[in-house]
Chain A
């Protein structure tokens, strides 16, 4: 596990910075809630002022802003899924491609390690880094939630929103970025394409929310997979969507390994 250990070591500074910034944002958002909710009349007036399409786009038509979990599912969750995915894309696209660009890959490939193992340990490195990221940010989310929430705590919904949903989403984008980086050997290209994917599929989710006749497009956006209304109202991420994400993560890893094992590596 030499490469894996090195990967964790190399990632840890970035991990701390990303975790700190994301935690800060989420904790601040949660801390603001009491003030925000103190005047229900104001809140309702504000919501009424929003155009209906906007409420629909952000699931605010289904999820109540009057509860902390509803508020968090719209505000904090968006931050952690969207920006966390950018971090995931960066980790995935850089893992192997950066070694090629920095020409350190010759150093690695001259060692007694198979390419499959190299890919595997790098992939695992990305996975564990993202798990730690979600663990840190999620823990702080839950802590501040418990601190602020005055009523009973909806544990199931909270844990899904704080840990499971963002992790699955981050893994999915990291997997796509990793596959592209590994296949192309160019981290920037892989990162840019994945960024496009993240914001494209996010926009697609909004469209799916807005227009009922676009429902068939829901399979093409991982953001739909972790739909907050589904989590907050029914306490679940649909099994089919979980399976798709697990399949994407496993498939991208296997494919990356396959492609990399037969590729010419220049530097």
Chain B
């Protein structure tokens, strides 16, 4: 399996070439309760990997395993070539982590907190810290206890990025940020990527993942159900087709790969999965007024992998 990633620079201690993040059969149970089950995925260097699934799917559990906050029940994982359990220290040195909810020492100011964080890395982060604070428009002289949820999130973003990590692990990063700030933040992530930083981006908001990720991993009930490039996910798989028939009486199409057919008067809609030429051939000679073939939105793709009722969008 590792052969696919031979161009990557990360070496395990045995000298094998590995990806930025590898999980192999990673499983976590909290007592009886499932966290994740048999999760196997690989993330390439320099990519932004969207990690999506509804709340409770196991996204945060996966991240906690990668950072060794919790220990795996079974399976193993490595980050930047280091084993998550054995070499947690090396991983933390090189990773920036933004939790979904940021909790800090209320009596400290933002500046104090960030300086405290900095001391662990033994490098001067003050310049980068100022840049980030300016980008996010955050006043660092306020005590963290006085900050709103969104502003604490901004502080979280700075503490995750100020020490210039090789890998960013972001858990629901845009939650609490206003739409304008979300755009600023996504730009910051893109910039990090340009600098060669790999980004693991967990979210249940598909539109932002769609905007920024190179690939997505879809997790459902603790299990990875799909790993695909955004492009592949959207285009290769299926199309949404709308046909306006010349007359009401035309029968519905009978063709392999059609699902979710719906007919309202002379308008048919359906999902088509397969070779587009088959569809065109089947339509040939039929009386059409209009034909639209569209990319499905990621939401639709996502719904395809989930039962509609389960998805919180």
Partners in one complex: yes
Do residues B70 and A266 form an inter-chain contact, with CB atoms below 8 A? yes
Mark contacts of B67-110 with chain A using CB atoms, 8 A cut-off: 1 yes-contact digit, 0 otherwise. 11111000000000000000011001101010101011100000
Q: Is A258 an interface residue (CB 8 A)?
A: no
Do residues A112 and B120 form an inter-chain contact, with CB atoms below 8 A? yes
Do residues A106 and B69 form an inter-chain contact, with CB atoms below 8 A? yes
Q: Is B116 an interface residue (CB 8 A)?
A: yes
**Complex CA–CA separation, A266 to B88 (angstroms):** 17
With a cutoff of 8 Å between Cβ atoms, the chain A residues found around residue B119 in the complex are 2
Q: Number of B interface residues at 8 Å Cβ cutoff, please give it.
A: 24
Q: Who on chain A is nearest to B94 by CB?
A: A112
With a cutoff of 8 Å between Cβ atoms, the chain A residues found around residue B120 in the complex are 2, 111-113
Q: Is B147 an interface residue (CB 8 A)?
A: no
B251 CB → nearest A CB, Å: 58
Option from B70, B97, B104 in Cβ contact (under 8 Å) with A110: B97
Mark contacts of B4-33 with chain A using CB atoms, 8 A cut-off: 1 yes-contact digit, 0 otherwise. 000000000000000000000000001000
With a cutoff of 8 Å between Cβ atoms, the chain B residues found around residue A104 in the complex are 103-105
Instruction: Scan residues 1-23 of chain A and give those whose CB is less than 8 A from a CB of chain B.
Output: 2, 6, 10
Mark contacts of A92-108 with chain B using CB atoms, 8 A cut-off: 1 yes-contact digit, 0 otherwise. 00000000001110110
Do residues A113 and B89 form an inter-chain contact, with CB atoms below 8 A? yes
Q: Total number of A-B contacts with CB less than 8 angstroms?
A: 54
Option from B64, B103, B117 in Cβ contact (under 8 Å) with A103: B103
Which of B30, B69, B88, B92 gathers most chain A CB within 10 Å?
B69
Instruction: Scan residues 84-133 of chain A and give those whose CB is less than 8 A from a CB of chain B.
Output: 102-104, 106-107, 109-114
Q: Is B269 an interface residue (CB 8 A)?
A: no
Do residues B103 and A102 form an inter-chain contact, with CB atoms below 8 A? yes
Q: Who on chain B is nearest to A114 by CB?
A: B89
Q: Is A212 an interface residue (CB 8 A)?
A: no
Main secondary structure of the interface of A (DSSP, over half): loop
With a cutoff of 8 Å between Cβ atoms, the chain B residues found around residue A106 in the complex are 69, 97, 99, 103
Q: Is B159 an interface residue (CB 8 A)?
A: yes
Q: Is A143 an interface residue (CB 8 A)?
A: no
Q: Is A53 an interface residue (CB 8 A)?
A: no
With a cutoff of 8 Å between Cβ atoms, the chain B residues found around residue A114 in the complex are 88-89
Do residues B103 and A267 form an inter-chain contact, with CB atoms below 8 A? yes
A125 CB → nearest B CB, Å: 14
**Complex CA–CA separation, A109 to B159 (angstroms):** 13
**Complex CA–CA separation, A100 to B105 (angstroms):** 12
Do residues B30 and A103 form an inter-chain contact, with CB atoms below 8 A? no
B207 CB → nearest A CB, Å: 27
A112 CB → nearest B CB, Å: 4
A12 CB → nearest B CB, Å: 12
**Complex CA–CA separation, A61 to B67 (angstroms):** 61
**Complex CA–CA separation, A232 to B30 (angstroms):** 55
- In addition to A112-B92, A264-B30, 11 A-B residue pairs with Cβ atoms within 8 Å of each other are A6-B116, A10-B105, A103-B101, A104-B104, A106-B103, A107-B103, A109-B69, A110-B95, A110-B97, A112-B121, A114-B88
Give me the 9 closest cross-chain CB pairs, A-B, nearest first.
Answer: A103-B103, A111-B120, A264-B70, A112-B93, A110-B97, A2-B119, A112-B92, A265-B69, A106-B99
